[in-house]
């Protein structure tokens, strides 16, 4: 039976912030000022006879002065994706900035055209002409492999010998804006499970090989599930001879569920059973069934084919480690610990958590929100919002598996973030450097905004009329996939959400008004 909510008890921090010791990551977490995103919300009627591509370039040329750019824009910007929203007929363009042929990290722009071909808005970050000087030049003096070795050596210095990388190590030459200057760097990742789960992004100076910046990317979460709690559910399996596998080939490129058997090798062993009507491993049942539920939510609601939009295989592993109190998306798959039975039950038991973790993957394939500071808080909030909406029974996250001996306890609350030590107003945000600059704490601000948009209410003397979860989640998916970019902050998500409401429901609509009021209520301008 599902736990009944009889009281609300103050809980601790929702997630473990990092797999690395505090000394193993740099403290600076602010978005570089030179790439802070700018929003331009106005209708620009393009000259007749132009293609959509030409209209985008024409608009940008028209806005050169506002963007502080000059010269040939096509030498500075490149179109990387084009998407059409079938429902509204809106065309969405995403561009990247290059300086002397080298991409600027996080400098992405989105331009949007309505069904009539008029440009309606721009949201993006870039380096102005006066900000494009690269402090250490534009010629690399170390190789990509040298940068990868430096990152591995630095991690091993902190935690000891590393196991096999979960993704083949790569290093991309990029210009990284940092503390008022631009540095030619290699961007790379360390992504391992041994001696403990680690996913750290490094920026290595491409001239002298020093570490410019590093931060943790490992996304952790907690959840509950029906199988773990003793209820019955149905899911798709695959028969192989006389054996059945937790392998669903009917959704995208598949959903597969494995067991690490309390070890740390991934993905582990594919779960099998000789009796397809009597699967007794609750953690595996929930991981598999809820992954199907998340896939179906994105496919049915938004037409999205799996995490990357292209049918990506969803791979889950349960029984990771011994009494492991966490779950995480490592960039390849989702991994669940069994919990210790006191603080947590098995993490795959809560659809909130599975939705939360798999949404980290959706974010990685869309806006790519950087996992620190305000963009990191938005990354966490987006996962909370979608994870909670997929279950849709209350406004709590992780309530089914957290502190099973305490009725009504949870990890976070979207309706009342303060209940679990989160701010619900921008003026009360955490401004320190721990937890990647408060990614798990400050997510409460945007969570509260979503709650007010969906449910309505009065907060800090601002009254908001609710529009319902369904419309609210439409707005946030639209914002995530079409407007947000790696360095988006709270102000940017307000602009993105308002513009998304305009795209979907019209300028001056009740929906757009409610979105603006909700962000007023949480102090985000």
What are phi and psi for residue 461, nearest 5 degrees? 65, 15
CA distance 353 to 202: 28
| pLDDT value of residue 197 | 73
Rounded-to-5 percentages of helix, strand, coil across the chain: 35, 25, 45
Question: Mean pLDDT across the stretch 91-114?
Answer: 96
Q: Is the pLDDT score of 271 beyond 90?
A: yes
3-state secondary structure of 473: helix
Per-residue pLDDT tens over the stretch 305-321: 999 999 999 999 999 99
In degrees, rounded to 5, the angle at the alpha carbon of residue 479 between the alpha carbons of residues 69 and 98 is: 30
Q: Is the pLDDT score of 12 beyond 50?
A: no
Q: Residues 367, 488: contact at Cβ < 8 Å?
A: yes
Per-residue pLDDT tens over the stretch 47-95: 999 999 999 999 999 999 999 998 889 999 999 999 999 888 999 999 9
| pLDDT value of residue 226 | 56
| pLDDT value of residue 228 | 80
Question: Mean pLDDT across the stretch 415-436?
Answer: 97
Q: Is the pLDDT score of 224 beyond 60?
A: no
Q: Is the pLDDT score of 21 beyond 70?
A: no
Active site residues: 357, 440
Q: Residues 97, 87: contact at Cβ < 8 Å?
A: no
Q: Is the pLDDT score of 1 beyond 60?
A: no
| pLDDT value of residue 22 | 33
| pLDDT value of residue 15 | 46
CA distance 470 to 511: 12
Most confident of 221-225, 234-238, 248-252, 262-266: 262-266
In this prediction, residue 34 has a pLDDT band, given cuts at 50, 70 and 90, of low
Residues 6+ apart with CB under 8 A from 13: 421, 435, 440, 441
CA distance 510 to 184: 47
CA distance 11 to 7: 12
Q: Is the pLDDT score of 398 beyond 90?
A: yes
Q: Is the pLDDT score of 282 beyond 50?
A: yes
DSSP one-letter string for 436-449? HHHTTTTHHHHHHH
| pLDDT value of residue 7 | 24
Burial class (CB in 10 A: 0-12, 13-18, 19+), 376: buried
Q: Is the pLDDT score of 223 beyond 50?
A: no
In this prediction, residue 169 has a pLDDT band, given cuts at 50, 70 and 90, of very high
Nearest one of 316, 336, 317, 334 to 326, comparing CA atoms: 336
What are phi and psi for residue 456, nearest 5 degrees? 80, 170
Helix extents (H) in 177-281: 226-229
CA distance 324 to 297: 28
| pLDDT value of residue 263 | 96
Q: Which residue has the tokens 């602009």?
A: 495
Q: List residues bridging with 247 in a β-sheet.
A: 256
In this prediction, residue 5 has a pLDDT band, given cuts at 50, 70 and 90, of very low
Q: List residues bridging with 329 in a β-sheet.
A: 219, 334
Q: Is the peptide bond before 225 cis (omega within 30 degrees of 0)?
A: no
In this prediction, residue 32 has a pLDDT band, given cuts at 50, 70 and 90, of low
| pLDDT value of residue 17 | 34
| pLDDT value of residue 249 | 82
Q: Is the peptide bond before 499 cis (omega within 30 degrees of 0)?
A: no
Question: Mean pLDDT across the stretch 362-375?
Answer: 97
Q: Give the lowest-confidence range in 34-43, 120-129, 165-174, 448-457.
A: 34-43
Per-residue pLDDT tens over the stretch 473-493: 999 999 999 999 999 999 999
CA distance 167 to 190: 9
Q: Which residue has the tokens 């998916």?
A: 477
> Tell me, what DSSP letter sits at residue 169?
-
Question: Mean pLDDT across the stretch 496-501?
Answer: 98
| pLDDT value of residue 36 | 64
| pLDDT value of residue 189 | 96
| pLDDT value of residue 179 | 81
DSSP one-letter string for 45-73? -PPTT--HHHHHHHHHHHTHHHHT--S-G
Nearest one of 144, 187, 143, 189 to 166, comparing CA atoms: 189
| pLDDT value of residue 29 | 45
| pLDDT value of residue 482 | 97
Looking at every residue in the chain, the average pLDDT score rounds to: 90
| pLDDT value of residue 18 | 32
Q: Residues 130, 68: contact at Cβ < 8 Å?
A: yes
Q: Residues 181, 135: contact at Cβ < 8 Å?
A: yes
Q: Is the pLDDT score of 38 beyond 90?
A: no
Token pair listed for 336 = 């669940």
| pLDDT value of residue 11 | 24
What are phi and psi for residue 53, nearest 5 degrees? -60, -45
CA distance 351 to 229: 12
Q: Is the pLDDT score of 232 beyond 50?
A: yes
Q: List residues bridging with 187 in a β-sheet.
A: 203
In this prediction, residue 20 has a pLDDT band, given cuts at 50, 70 and 90, of very low
Q: Give the lowest-confidence range in 215-224, 346-355, 424-433.
A: 215-224
Q: List residues bridging with 176 in a β-sheet.
A: 183
> Which H or E run contains 295?
helix 282-302
Q: Residues 166, 332: contact at Cβ < 8 Å?
A: yes
């Amino acid at each position: 039976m599902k736990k009944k909510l009889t009281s609300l008890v103050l809980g601790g921090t929702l997630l473990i912030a990092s797999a690395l010791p505090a000394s193993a990551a740099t403290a600076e977490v602010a978005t570089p000022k030179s790439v802070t995103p700018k929003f331009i919300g106005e209708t620009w009627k393009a000259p007749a006879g132009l293609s959509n591509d030409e209209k985008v370039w024409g608009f940008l040329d028209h806005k050169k002065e506002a963007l502080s750019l000059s010269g040939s824009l096509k030498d500075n910007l490149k179109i990387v994706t084009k998407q059409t929203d079938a429902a509204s007929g809106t065309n969405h363009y995403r561009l990247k900035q290059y300086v002397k042929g080298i991409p600027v990290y996080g400098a992405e722009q989105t331009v949007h055209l309505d069904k009539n071909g008029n440009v309606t808005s721009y949201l993006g970050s870039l380096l102005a002409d006066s900000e494009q000087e690269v402090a250490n030049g534009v010629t690399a003096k170390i190789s990509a492999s040298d940068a990868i070795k430096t990152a591995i050596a630095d991690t091993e210095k902190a935690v000891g010998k590393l196991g096999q990388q979960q993704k083949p190590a790569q290093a991309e030459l990029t210009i990284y804006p940092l503390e008022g200057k631009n540095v030619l760097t290699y961007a790379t990742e360390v992504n391992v499970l041994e001696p403990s789960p680690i996913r750290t992004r490094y920026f290595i100076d491409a001239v002298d090989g020093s570490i410019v910046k590093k931060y943790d990317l490992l996304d952790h979460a907690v959840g509950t599930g029906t199988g773990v709690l003793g209820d019955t559910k149905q899911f798709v399996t695959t028969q192989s001879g006389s054996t059945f596998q937790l392998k669903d080939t009917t959704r995208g490129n598949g959903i597969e569920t494995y067991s690490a058997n309390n070890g740390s090798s991934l993905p582990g062993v594919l779960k099998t059973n000789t009796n397809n009507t009597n699967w007794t491993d609750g953690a595996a049942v929930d991981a598999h069934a809820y992954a199907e539920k998340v896939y179906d939510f994105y496919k049915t609601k938004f037409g999205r084919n799996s995490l990357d939009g292209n049918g990506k295989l969803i791979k889950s592993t349960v029984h990771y480690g011994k009494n492991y109190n966490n779950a995480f998306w490592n960039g390849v798959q989702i991994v669940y610990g069994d919990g210790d039975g006191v603080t947590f039950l098995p993490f795959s038991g809560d659809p909130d958590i599975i939705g939360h973790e798999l949404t980290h993957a959706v974010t990685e394939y869309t806006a790519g929100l950087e996992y620190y500071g305000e963009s990191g808080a938005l990354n966490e909030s987006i996962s909370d919002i979608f994870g909670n909406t997929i279950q849709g029974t209350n406004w709590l996250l992780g309530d089914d598996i957290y502190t099973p001996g305490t009725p009504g306890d949870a990890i976070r609350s979207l309706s009342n973030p303060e209940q679990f030590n989160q701010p619900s107003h921008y003026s009360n945000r955490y401004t320190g450097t721990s937890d990647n600059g408060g990614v798990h704490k400050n997510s409460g601000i945007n969570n509260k905004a979503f709650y007010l948009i969906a449910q309505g209410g009065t907060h800090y003397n601002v009254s908001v009329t609710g529009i319902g979860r369904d419309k609210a989640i439409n707005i946030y998916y639209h914002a995530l996939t079409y407007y947000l970019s790696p360095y988006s902050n709270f102000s940017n998500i307000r602009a993105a959400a308002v513009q998304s409401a305009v795209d979907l429901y019209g300028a001056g609509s009740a929906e757009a008004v409610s979105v603006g009021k909700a962000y007023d209520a949480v102090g985000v301008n």
